[in-house]
Structures are given as structure tokens and as C-alpha cells.
Amino acid sequence: MKHLYSIALCVTLTAATAAAGVSPALLNLVMPDATVLSGVNVDQSIGSPFGQYILSQMQFNDTEFQQLLALTGFDPRKDLHEILAATPSTSTSTTHTGLILGRGIFNPAMVLSTATNQGAILSVYKGFTLIGPPPSSSPNQPPVALALTFLDGSTAAMGDAVSVKGVIDRKLAGAAFTGPLAASALQVSANNSAWFATTTPLSDFMSARPSTNLGPVAQSGLMQSIIAASGGVLFGTTALTLTADCVTANPQNAQALVDVLKFFVSMIAGNTNAPSGVVSIASSAQFAVNGSTAHISLLLPEAQVEQLLMPKANGARKRSAAVR
């Protein structure tokens, strides 16, 4: 089962190389109380220079990855086309934690066989098989209520069991995901390679994640003024463009947010001890206010991003062929 759930890691890593456009078929599977969406489209970015760089840094020849291919027939480099992640309202039950939806080429029968051989817990819900992790060997460790299911050979859903069953319900009912979050997701995904959208105030979103140690920042008046946000990154041929839109309660708050961000950027740009690449990126920042919305953009030359990500011990820039 360890190899089966390695799919989650491969999906997450491959997402870093992805590009724009959310599929309505996946969007309609999202829970109606979702407050945060993020998505990527692998097909549209694999050929970008940064996508090729990321692939070149991943260990596709190691034993565990090769076992994953042999056991599941799934190669995220060519079989994964799109991913959409959804997080529900923090006010819901802790058993309802989120979803990862995938569009690609899957072999459900092969995955099911592998899961069965590795002791997975199988159940059937409305005609769909749910694959759960095997029972814990520790008597003090409660069972993990996770599930993976395939709606067909091109659509997979993974997450907590309650959320995955909800996907099946919405699939059978032909449900549609609509509203402000859906509209924001459609708009931001059309212009970015990897994107996010949320209707949750950033202060609430950050406070709900104590492990990030962002509680004091979340309680600042500036963060509390942001009532919704969206943004993403566009992988170009020579540069990455990062953009974000922060919706505030009023134009005054939007201008205050921009003024604070400009101040921080000026501090970085004026720091003689900061790496030149960081200073260059900070200096490229642009800000604008449109009504109650603060808009931020950054231009990151692709070569500089690679240098910042590359371990110092590597020295010269390394790029190996990443053939899809």
C-alpha cells in the first residue's frame, strides 16, 4: 500500500511543473462548501523550460518510483493531465478535510489489484470501490479515514472518506459547482500555470493552521482586511510571472496593503547583503489598486529561479533531458 499512496507524492511533485486551465468536469466535483481551490494542468506546461528543469531534478530512476510504475501502471510524467485540490470550510467536521481530484490515464483494475495484495481496506459506495490504507499495526494509532476511488479510467478522487463519497454523490447527481469561488477559479486558471483562489479571509485561513506559526501575522489588521484572494504563476519561455489579487473591505485597505508591500520590497532591494537574484526579483515587483482590490505581480527570470532552487554544492547549472 506504501507504493499506492506514493501516487499522492508524485502528483504533488508533478504539480510544480503544471500549467493553466481548470476543467469544468473536475470543478463540478468540488464540495459545495469549498473555500479554497488550487489547480494545475500538466499537459500545458511540461514543455516549458521551468517544467523541464523540475522534471530533470526528480528521481524517476530510483527503485521506489519504478515499483510504482510496475504496480499501478501509472506514470505521472505522461499519465497525469490535471489536478484540482479543494479545501472545505474550517467550520465543518474534522472528518471532512479535503480533496485531490485528478484527470489523466488510470488503470483502476491494476491499482485495485495492487491495493488488495498490499492489504488495503476496500469498500463499495453506490457502485464505486473505495480503497483505504491497510489497518494500522499500532494498537494506539486510530485508523486513517482516507480513500481513493476512480470514477472512470480518466478521473480519480482522493481524500478523506466523507469527501470522496461526496464526489461520488455529485457525479451521480450531475451537480454543478457555481458561485463566487467557481467564478474566481475559472478566471485565475485561464491566465496562470498553477493557481489558487479562496473566499476565506486570509486571517481565518492562516489562524486555522497553527503549525505555520503565522498566528500573530494573521491577527494583524492588514491581514484581517483581506476577505478573498486569488493568484498564480505563469511559466513563460524565459521567465515566470507571479500575480495575486487581494480583495479587501474597501479601497483604503487596498491602498494600505500596497503601501506596506512596497515598503518591504524597498527594504529588500536596498539590502546590500541580500543575494542579487532576490534583489532583482524584488525590484521587479509591481503594484496597483483597482477599487477594493490590491494587485501584485513579480517577474522571475527562469534562470534565476533555477539558481535559487539549485543546491549550492551543485555549482554549475545542471540540466538533464526530461523526456515525457
Instruction: Detail the DSSP E strand segments found in the chain.
Output: 34-41, 80-88, 99-104, 121-125, 128-132, 146-152, 155-160, 194-198, 226-235, 239-248, 286-290, 293-301
Q: What is the pLDDT of residue 281?
A: 79
For residue 309, pLDDT beyond 80: no
- Span 150-183, pLDDT tens digits: 999 999 999 999 999 999 999 999 999 999 999 9
Query: Count of H helices and E strands in the chain?
Result: 14, 12
Q: What is the pLDDT of residue 262?
A: 92
User: Nearest CA to 130 among 170, 99, 168, 83?
Assistant: 168
- Span 179-204, pLDDT tens digits: 999 999 999 999 898 999 998 886 66
The C-alpha cell at 230 is: 486569488
- Span 87-99, pLDDT tens digits: 987 645 566 788 9
- The mean-pLDDT minimum among 22-26, 62-66, 218-222, 243-247 falls in 218-222
What distances in angstroms separate CA 315 from CA 50, 169, 302, 308, one per listed residue? 19, 52, 17, 12
Give 26's pLDDT tier (boundaries 50, 70, 90). very high
Options 1.10.10, 3.30.565, 1.10.150, 3.30.160; which CATH number does 200-314 get? 3.30.565
Q: What is the pLDDT of residue 219?
A: 57
Residues in CB range of 224: below 8 A, 6 or more apart: 201, 203, 218
Residue 156: phi and psi, rounded to 5, are -125, 150
Percent of the residues in the chain that have a pLDDT greater than 90, as a whole number: 43
The C-alpha cell at 271 is: 539590502
| Positions of CATH 3.30.565 in the chain | 200-314
Give 215's pLDDT tier (boundaries 50, 70, 90). low
- Span 128-152, pLDDT tens digits: 999 998 876 555 555 557 899 999 9
Give 126's pLDDT tier (boundaries 50, 70, 90). very high
Q: What is the DSSP letter of 179?
A: S
- Span 217-226, pLDDT tens digits: 555 667 778 8
Percent of the residues in the chain that have a pLDDT greater than 70, as a whole number: 77
Instruction: Detail the DSSP E strand segments found in 192-306.
Output: 194-198, 226-235, 239-248, 286-290, 293-301
Residues in CB range of 39: below 8 A, 6 or more apart: 22, 26, 82, 83, 84, 85, 185, 189, 194, 195, 196
